[in-house]
Amino acid sequence: MRKIDDVKAAVLACIRTDLASKGVSAVVSGDTDLRAAGLIDSLGFVRLLSELERVLGGPIDLSEADPTRLTHVDTLVRYLSRR
């Protein structure tokens, strides 16, 4: 199990890095739905997961995750912190 604050910091850092590389500046908080806010698409989500696997040091298995809520920052953070 990972510390939730460490996971949240990693997720937000990855998101901000990806957005900055596209020239997008946005406020991203825990309650942000990345898809609904137009900040990420399906390919961007795959890139985010790939970067998180690198940063967090292991594969991410989403088989038990709720796909309708997974693009919400806090939902993603809670799921990853339990793994």
What range defines the domain where residue 19 resides?
4-81
Structure pTM?
0.84
For the stretch 14-56, pLDDT in tens is 888 888 888 887 888 888 999 998 888 999 899 999 999 999 9
Q: What is the 3-state secondary structure (H, E, C) of 44-72?
A: HHHHHHHHHHHHHCCCCCCCCCCCCCCCE
For the stretch 67-81, pLDDT in tens is 889 999 999 999 999
- How many H-runs (helices) and E-runs (strands) does the chain carry? 3, 0
Instruction: Return the CATH number at 60.
Output: 1.10.1200.10
Average pLDDT for 58-70 = 91
Task: Give how many domains the chain has, as a whole number.
Answer: 1
